[in-house]
Amino acid sequence: MARPGPHHIHCIDPRTGAEAGDVACTSLADIPALATRARMAQRSWAALSLAQRKKVVEAWKHTILARAGEVAALLVAEIGKPAAEAWSSEILTAGELFDGWLANIDDLLSPQPVELNPLNYPGKEVVVSAQPRGLIGMIMPWNYPFHLPLRTMVPALLAGNAVIWKPSEHAARVGALLGEIAASVLPADLLITVQGDGEQGVAVIDAGVDRVVFTGSVATGRKVALRAAALGVECSLELGSKDAAIVLKDAPLERTVNGLVWGAFHNAGQDCAAVERVYVERPLYEAFLQKVVETTKSLQPGVDIGPLITLAARSRVEQRIHDAVKAGATLHCGGVPWGEGFGLMPAVLSGVPEDSALMVEETFGPVMPILPFDREEEVVERVNSSPFGLCASVWTKDHRRGLALLDRLDVGSTFLNNCCFTGPMAMAAWSGRRHSGSGVTGSRWSLDGLTMPHTRVIDRSGAAKEMWWYPYTDAFTGMARGLVELGRRGGGKLQGIRLVLSGLLGRWKRSQ
């Protein structure tokens, strides 16, 4: 947690609520000059070969891993993550992220030749290559403050860009550490860290960046998009969700319960991919609910479950639970504070009204509402009616039925008998639908936002004129007609060939 002041971010440990140090805010007046420095550094960086850039980025990876203990300790202290999650979901995945991009970037950035008809385009070669956009602006969240920024930083830098970014004010110390490690390896000013709150975020957008990458809430994402649009800056948004799980009556009970308890409560539910709605086919409903409650009660606060990031965040989740119970839901376990800070025991509810905030709006906390269903058509409609569309999962032993059901869900990522773990994968696309945002991280599709296509034409024909150059002649018109005839379905092939040959002959005679 943090309380931004006029010149400093006052950090608070969410495990205890105690003060945990200050981080200086970046002066708004300095941000344009910082962006200029980053842009100058980018020119030299882009001039290096991809092999040279890969060597530096690989050294960055090894420096991060060498300081992994320091990173993990700070993730525990500033975000309140259990140590197991700090190591697994932030540091281990960061190493895998680097490896994935380093292994694939050569192929992904390789120039692509354009196939040409040698009759139409004799002696010509066309190649499309990817060039860096220039300066990438990033505004990042606090829930995965180390790994999430790297998801964009690593491919952006490999592609030849520079980065200016602002970590969340609730993860300022982790952001500072990530920036410091990068600065110890990367060329000066290639990756610049800006500290502060929303004002500094706006200043990053205004600083002349070539693209903005934002991860965070829907409300803030809309403000970012409007600001970027007003400046003509392209924008990538990764926003919230209300991810659903569908449990069919033949689902393997123990695996499904264990998977969904983790899917709902990891990172204290503070994950856009957390499972926030569970629909269970009625024959399995009672057994599933009983087993989930039993498993949830076994989770240990501080070991399995960390605190929420702020007191306000915990209060919002508590209010959602209270409102659902008031509307007729049953709270089976959890929903009560733990520890000295902002902890909340994981909550399991049944009978939650479908139109309640707990079922419609993103909760971003350790809450699992469980509802029964009877027909596939009914549950598909309930899942797809959400304004969000990030992830969904189906749990069943019948893989054919499960896959057919997944095909009907309108979300960016679907899972059969698992949930919400592909986000860290370098080569798996992570994207959403509707209010979940329009951006892509991971995979070759994310490079579309970090590079621009450049088409190069090389002509080795040596002819004095092209057929389509002036002056226009009957031979040229006839040749064009012939080519159209050859390409037309049901066209006169012999007539087309005659027109093309006649045109070529006429062109040759004119050139003599």
Predicted confidence at residue 501, as pLDDT, reads: 82
pLDDT exceeding 70 applies to what percent of the chain?
97
Give the CATH architecture of domain 2-112+131-239+443-451. Answer: 3-Layer(aba) Sandwich (3.40)
How far is residue 318 from each of residues 260, 293, 313, measured CA to CA in Å?
21, 18, 9
Contacts of 426 (CB under 8 A, 6+ apart): 96, 97, 99, 100, 101, 104, 154, 155, 442, 443
Predicted confidence at residue 122, as pLDDT, reads: 87
- Strands (E) across 282-429 are located at 330-333, 337-338, 343-344, 347-350, 367-373, 388-389, 391-395, 413-416
Predicted confidence at residue 86, as pLDDT, reads: 97
* pLDDT tens profile 29-78: 999 999 999 999 999 999 999 999 999 999 999 999 999 999 999 999 99
* pLDDT tens profile 427-448: 999 999 999 998 899 999 999 9
Angle (CA) 113-117-118 rounded to 5° is 100
Class of domain 243-430: alpha beta
- Whole-angstrom distance, CA of residue 132 vs CA of residue 46: 7
Predicted confidence at residue 492, as pLDDT, reads: 75
Q: How do the domains of the chain map onto residue ranges? A: 2-112+131-239+443-451, 243-430, 463-511
- Pair 213, 137: CB distance under 8 Å: yes
Q: 375: which 2 tokens?
A: 């027909």
* pLDDT tens profile 235-262: 999 999 999 999 999 999 999 999 999 9
Predicted confidence at residue 491, as pLDDT, reads: 66
- Pair 39, 25: CB distance under 8 Å: no
CA 378 to chain centre: 30
pLDDT at 510 over 70: no
- Whole-angstrom distance, CA of residue 135 vs CA of residue 38: 7
How far is residue 498 from each of residues 283, 469, 476, measured CA to CA in Å?
73, 22, 13
Predicted confidence at residue 343, as pLDDT, reads: 98
Compute and round to an integer the Cα radius of gyration of the chain: 28
Q: What residues does 278 pair with on adjacent strands?
A: 245, 370
* Residue-by-residue DSSP string for 245-310: EEE-TTS-HHHHHHHHHHHHHGGGG-STTSEEEEEEEHHHHHHHHHHHHHHHHTPPBTTTB---SS
Please pick, among 90, 238, 318, 485, the residue that the annotation labels catalytic.
238
Find where tokens 């952006």 sit: 156
Predicted confidence at residue 499, as pLDDT, reads: 83
Please pick, among 25, 235, 272, 420, the residue that the annotation labels catalytic.
272
Find where tokens 């024959």 sit: 283
Banded pLDDT at 1 (limits 50, 70, 90): very low
Predicted confidence at residue 6, as pLDDT, reads: 58
* pLDDT tens profile 319-355: 999 999 999 999 999 999 999 999 999 999 999 999 9
Helix (H) or strand (E) holding 229: helix 218-230
Q: Give this prediction's pTM.
A: 0.92
Alpha helices, DSSP H, located in 109-197:
147-158, 172-183
Q: Is residue 272 flagged as an active site residue? A: yes
Q: Is residue 235 flagged as an active site residue? A: no
* pLDDT tens profile 152-202: 999 999 999 999 999 999 999 999 999 999 999 999 999 999 999 999 999
